[in-house]
């Protein structure tokens, strides 16, 4: 993680967890880049396979970056939810104090 022993012992468990997650993400990114390079080398070599390899052939699918588009929000539904929350807040703030 790039810390000396003294720095490590001063960290809170939460900070250690965050540093570990950052380290894991860095390692996943490096592994993905290497896998992309391997797939390109295999698919474009002189003895390439009949069926081209995919990135998912070399990396587990849960390690691949998510490229899904977010679900489209229904604007009327969101507006009605905001309206109901704001209405509830207005009722709470305008209630007489005991």
Closest CA to 52 of 62, 61, 40, 68: 40
pLDDT tens column, 42-91? 888 878 788 888 888 877 766 555 665 667 778 888 888 888 888 877 77
In this structure, are residues 46 and 62 in contact, taking their beta carbons and an 8 Å threshold? Answer: no
Residues 6 or more apart from 65 whose CB is under 8 A from it? 32
Q: What is the pTM of this model?
A: 0.50
Range of the structural domain that residue 72 is part of = 5-94
The total number of structural domains in the chain stands at: 1
């Amino acid at each position: 993680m790039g810390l000396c022993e003294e720095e490590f012992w001063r960290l809170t468990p939460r900070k250690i967890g965050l540093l570990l997650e950052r380290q894991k993400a860095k390692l996943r990114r490096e592994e993905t880049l290497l896998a992309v390079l391997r797939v390109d080398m295999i698919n474009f070599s002189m003895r390439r396979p009949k069926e081209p390899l995919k990135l998912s052939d070399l990396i587990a699918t849960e390690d691949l970056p998510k490229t899904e588009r977010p679900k489209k929000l229904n604007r009327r539904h969101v507006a009605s939810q905001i309206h109901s929350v704001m209405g509830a807040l207005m009722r709470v703030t305008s209630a007489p104090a005991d």
